[in-house]
A and B are shown apart, each in its own frame.
Chain A
Amino acid sequence: MHNELVSHLNSTVSGCNATAVTPEIGDSSIFVDASHIKAVCEELATGEWLFHTLQVITGTDYEDRIEVSYILCSYTKNNELILKVKLPKPTSDSIPEIDSVCSVWKAANWQERECWDMVGVKFNGHPDHRRILCPEDWEGFPLRKDYVVQEEYHGMKVNPAEKINNADHHFFKKIQETLEDPKKISHSWKGE
């Protein structure tokens, strides 16, 4: 199915550069150019393949790129498709941008808002581009791999020290000091 779809896309949407990835384990996917995502989605939704529902938009943060996966499915043809685009890795002053597909599927509205909120991908042309799960003035995008929780929010400390369990950690440190051979101690905390 994927190879037919790739040739179909390449012939109808010029310049979309569709390529299929078919691994042995797991689901196959199709990569397209980020600049043509709207045209590709319109073709898939209204053309002969009838992908008339958008299930989910997943943003994934990789080391060198951000990938946005659009999972489409067709109830009448009983198909599903993972459509992917690659976006450049965000730097301190740039945010990856892509065209919104809200005009194709209404489901995209909230899914894109979630993707913006969690991964920080800006959707150009979105009618209501706000955060959805986090508060409007929250800093950072939680599902990026380099996310650090902000220290203070509206004068409240995030993760205050008195709520972190210290007593048990102190116990471990005390034993470490009293015992002459620290290699003899085993403990259950990660990263210490």
Chain B
Amino acid sequence: MSQLTPDLHANYAENAKKYEEELTLKGWFRNIYQTIVSVSKGMFITFRYVWAEKAVTIEYPEVREVLPENSRSRLFNDAENCISCLQCATACPVDCIYITATRRDKEAEKIKTKDGTPIRLDLKQYTIDTALCMYCGLCTTVCPTQCLTHTTDYEFASYTVDNMKYDYLADDVRAWRDRIVKD
């Protein structure tokens, strides 16, 4: 043993003596007996898991998990029903929703959302930076027309961060609607 810190070693030895009784031959055999008994009890439980318990894991790419209905995953905005009220952008704690809208001309044709709310603003831009989004669900709860929803789609990994920015007015993003949004 090194002599660098004699106090430390002396203390350690003293502590060991304080807490542990001296090892007798009887105690040595008792230790072995206790170890064998407790470990074999544990092994019995472990082996039960091998045969008696059902497997709980799934083999992912072949078997796909269906998430529960109100699971909060990829966001989808149905831009036709959006009234550009900016409530989602205000509620967002990380400011990842970007909206630009212009006021509709008074002479223009009057349009309404699915539930009958008149649309007074033209939506020019509706972008969500999904890489920033933390899926807290505050934006979907404040949406008055229920056009912004969480879908249960969880496979949206991409190679670049730029791809994570979804422009909900672009055609390719709107095409998801058929795939993931169930009416």
Contacts and interface: CB of A to CB of B under 8 A. Distances in A.
**A–B interface present (Cβ within 8 A):** yes
Interface of A: 165, 167-168, 171-172, 175, 179, 184-190
B89 A179 contact: no
B98 A184 contact: no
Interface of A is mostly: mixed
Contacts of A167: 165
Nearest to B125: A171
A105 to B, nearest CB: 25
Contacts of A187: 86, 98-101
Interface in B141-179: 165
B71 interface: no
Contacts of A175: 100, 102, 124-125
A113 to B, nearest CB: 26
B100 A185 contact: yes
A168 B102 contact: no
A186 B127 CA distance: 15
A179 B102 contact: yes
Nearest to A187: B100
Interface string B94-120: 010111111100000000000000000
7 contacts: A171-B125, A179-B102, A184-B103, A185-B100, A185-B101, A185-B103, A188-B98
A190 B84 CA distance: 16
Interface centre among B98, B100, B101, B125 (most CB of A within 10 A): B100
B125 A186 contact: no
Interface of B: 84, 86, 89-90, 95, 97-103, 121, 124-125, 127, 129, 165
Contacts of A188: 86, 89-90, 97-100
B127 A168 contact: yes
Please name the 4 residue pairs, one residue from A and one from B, whose CB atoms are nearest each other, closest first: A188-B89, A168-B98, A184-B103, A188-B99
A30 B66 CA distance: 56
Contacts of B103: 184-186
Query: Which of B98, B103, B127 has most chain A Cβ within 10 Å?
Result: B98
A186 B98 contact: no
Contact of B98 (A179, A185, A189): A189
B102 A172 contact: no
Contacts of B102: 175, 179, 184-186
A189 B100 CA distance: 9
Contacts of B129: 165
Given A172-B125, A189-B95, 11 more contacts: A168-B127, A172-B98, A172-B100, A175-B100, A186-B99, A186-B121, A187-B86, A187-B98, A187-B99, A187-B101, A188-B89
Contacts of B124: 171, 175
Contacts of A172: 98, 100, 125
A167 B127 CA distance: 10
A159 to B, nearest CB: 14
Contacts of A179: 102
Contacts of A168: 98, 125, 127
Contacts of B101: 185-187
Contacts of A165: 98, 129, 165
Nearest to B126: A188
Contact of A171 (B89, B90, B100): B100
Nearest to B84: A186
